[in-house]
Structure 1
Amino acid sequence: MTNETSFSVSEITDRTQWQPDVLGAGYEQRTIPLGPDPDGEGEAVATLVRYTPDTGAAATESAVLYVHGFTDYFFQQHLAEHLHGRGHRFYALDLRKCGRSLRDGQTPHYVTDLARYDAELNEALRIVKEETGGTVLLVAHSTGGLIVPLWLNRLNKKIGTAAAGITGLVLNSPWFDLQGPSYYRTVGTPIIHALGRFRSMFELPGGEIRTYGDSLHHTAAGEWDYNLDWKPLSGFPVRLGWLRAIRSGHAQLHKGLDVGVPSLILRSRLTTFTRKYGPAADVADVVLDVRQIQRWAGCIGDRTNIVPIDGARHDVFLSSAEPRAKAFAELDHWLDWLAIYLRKSESPEAGA
């Protein structure tokens, strides 16, 4: 009996590498091996997730690569489905030791140098471009909104961001500076650098605060469902070695970067720091100081559009219905502008 079904080598490889994802139908994941962890916690991996619905397939000439923040992983299906509806193939990356990529014996989100993430970002970009054959829009949230511009700055210096196939950058409440009293950023930073070098695993106090988690998660006051092992309500502990890496990244950002592509920065209009959940936590950023986002936004280089969203949470796409709709409307408006801008930039008249 003859089997009339045949597959190419690439199709067989693709089916082996991509496996069903925890988000269910339409979502698949692929492990990216990274070798021994430079911070000494076994073998490091990252995880690339893709959205592949059976119907209404997106155009293949444009893709999105999403990068999460601290105490986070990709679960924002509504964002994937919205961008897919606009004609983008959607991918998301769980960085090493985060979410799907966390392995036994590893410290969640712990790195001592943000440049370590270049390995998975480069490989994720390669896979996305190989699969789609087109350009890539980057979307990053919070700590991811610091990691990705630093990576793009290095990439732009090496080969050029445009040459790498990247067309734009969307930052959702990026972490551009250390929140809190000013002495955290003055006398506190040298202390962080000194102690972080020798006591890198020291856990800072304050991990019991769960205001943001209670605002989001459906078992508390919020509407969103996600894995509390990967995104605990009170957040993962902050360790000195990791915070030292963050402050080094902030210093690089403040000196000025060049990401090489236009950027949209979305943020809440208001910050409210509170140790316990209340209604005010649902209409403000309770994690970062939005004034710092505004202050340092110009440091990422190229064209930058900054849009405050009334009533938005820290993750503007996890806000309540009205500000969330506003955030998506602003995203759509900017993407429409970006498409026109790119067409004009590529036209013969642009170089005349």
Structure 2
Amino acid sequence: MTTWRPDVLGDGYEQLELPLGTDPDGEGEISATLVRYQPPSTDLPDRAVLYVHGFTDYFFQQHLAEHFAARGYRFFALDLRKCGRSRAPGHTPHFVTDLSHYDAELDEALRVVREEVGGGVLLAAHSTGGLVLPLWLDRLRRRPGGVAAAGIVGLVLNSPWFDLQGPSYLRNVGTAAVDIVGRLRPRALIPLPKTEAYGRSLQCDGWRYDLDWKPLTGFPVRFGWLRAVRRGQAVLHRGLDIGVPSLILRSGASRFAPRYDASVDTVDAVLDVRQIARWAGCLGNRTTIVPIDGARHDVFLSTPGPLAEAFRELDLWLEWLDGADEADTSGSRTEADDSDDSDDSATVSVLHRLTGEHA
């Protein structure tokens, strides 16, 4: 029996606890939290969106839920184990030693959403969630019936974390060290400099969230967690087959700043967007990647102009998805931009060509 109760986001938002039993990483009983947005209506849509957050994050983007609702989708978001609403005393924030552990709450969340809605489910994710979901889909595709039997129709990724930032030699050497330490001392902290640049940028633009669930400087990064991420990225780099079309939105540029200044408002201050472009083709199926000039790391928390552009591109892709027949959406064609940002103007037109609305 499912018992929804009022959520911290207020009117129209409810949450459901998803018990997961004993933590495989040894931190006691754990659960995840499914949030739904249900505005007053007598005619609920028969399709839904299921959204997954990133690291040092949780679901609070009400305008995103309301945008999808206006497009005819019921909206659900999942706070993963030890994250946001799901973190309990004694839990290490966001800590897992294998990204496949998240399969438990993703499977259960999908089951609940499908029971509530009955129709197809569009997945959406941000940052680390944008790595977790493709890996899950690739595993789900191998089960009996695959992705189609699960009712999943597409995937929207918002600045997915496809690779570790920094020069290639540091990534190679660093990954080897992370693999060793992460296996032997998984909870050991990685000594990283703290910066409030991205968090301050969001606050300066009026975005408000719980600082206990999303600290300005981020949660500490632990070797075992980063080892899980790097192992997941390695699987992605070898190539996945997620079984559904995908849309990838990202900023047009990156800039890493030790402290906040106004330029941080118009770039990805967390990830290298060239890496997103480079690895986008590894998802399999039909992939559309659209750079949004002036967008933040979370493109749906950008300043008004880029935010409007991100929603416009999302809507165009959703229109294409609605009109695509099964033969088209199950094909293996992949369209992605090059890692060189000089090609951005060409890649922006990919979505327009797919929708047939522009030459």
TM-score over 0.5 (shorter chain): yes
Secondary structure of the residue aligned to 2:59 is coil
Report whether the alignment pairs 1:29 with 2:15: yes
Q: Structure 2: how far apart are the matches of 1:277 and 1:84? A: 34
Aligned-residue offset at 1:183: 2.5
Correspondence for 1:103 = 88
Give the corresponding residue for 1:75: 60
In structure 1, runs of 5+ residues without a counterpart are 1-12, 347-352
* Max Rg structure: 1
Match of 2:211 among 228, 247, 253: 228
Task: Report the equivalent of 1:281.
Answer: 264
5+ residue gaps, structure 2, are 330-359
Q: Could you say which residue in structure 1 is the equivalent of 2:165?
A: 179
DSSP-derived class of the 1:66 partner: strand
Q: Is the Cα contact below 8 Å between 1:36 and 1:42 reproduced in 2? A: yes
The alignment-based identity, stated in percent, is 65
**C-alpha displacement of 1:158:** 1.1
Distance 2:86 2:175 in 1: 30
Give the Cα–Cα distance (whole angstroms) in 1 for the partners of residues 216 and 43 of structure 2: 35
Counterpart in the other structure of 1:155 = 140
* Alpha-carbon displacement from aligned partner over 1:248-278 (angstroms, at most 9, x marks no partner): 0000000000000000000001000111101
Distance 1:234 1:305 in 2: 32
> What TM-score do the two structures reach when normalised by structure 2?
0.89
State the match for 1:4 in structure 2: none
How many correspondences in the alignment? Answer: 328
In the TM superposition, what is the alpha-carbon distance from 1:58 to its structure 2 partner? 4.2
- Runs of 4+ in structure 1 off by over 2 angstroms are 55-58, 181-184, 342-346
Residue aligning to 1:206: 192
* Counterpart selection for 1:84 from 51, 58, 69: 69
2:48 counterpart letter in structure 1: A
The farther-off stretch of 206-215 and 286-295 is 206-215
CA–CA distance in structure 1, aligned partners of residues 192 and 205 of structure 2: 22
Residue in structure 1 matching 2:27, options 34, 37, 41: 41
Deviations 1:82-127 (A, max 9, x none): 0000110100000000000001000000000000000000000000
1:299 aligns with 2:282: yes
SS where residue 148 of structure 2 aligns? coil
Q: What's the offset of the Cα at 1:185? A: 1.5
Superposed displacement of residue 313, structure 1: 0.1
One-letter identity of the residue aligned with 1:145: G
2:150 and 2:232 mapped to 1: Cα distance? Answer: 22
Distance 2:225 2:197 in 1: 22
Change (3 A) 1:88 1:188: same
Q: Given residue 180 of structure 1, which amino acid in structure 2 is its aligned partner?
A: G
Aligned to 2:332: none
Residue identity matched to 1:205: P
Change (3 A) 1:274 1:89: same
Q: Is the 8 A contact 1:177 1:250 kept in 2?
A: yes
Q: 1:50 aligned to 2:36?
A: yes
User: d(CA) in 2 for partners of 1:216 and 1:341?
Assistant: 36
1:207/1:234 contact within 8 Å kept: no
1:181 to partner: Cα distance? 2.6
Q: Is the 8 A contact 1:269 1:290 kept in 2?
A: yes
Q: CA deviation at 1:162?
A: 1.3
Give matches, 1:227-246, under 5 Å. Answer: 227-246=210-229
Q: Is 1:132 aligned with 2:117?
A: yes
Query: What does residue 311 of structure 1 align with?
Result: 294
Q: For residues 182-218 of structure 1, what are the alpha-carbon distances to aligned partners after superposition, in whole Å with 9 as ceiling and x for unaligned?
A: 233211111110111111111112252111111112x
| TM-score with structure 1 setting the length | 0.91
One-letter code aligned to 1:310: D
Contact 1:204 1:238 in 2 (8 A): yes
Letter in 1 for 2:198: Y
Aligned counterparts of 2:175 and 2:271: Cα–Cα separation in 1: 17
SS across alignment from 2:20: strand
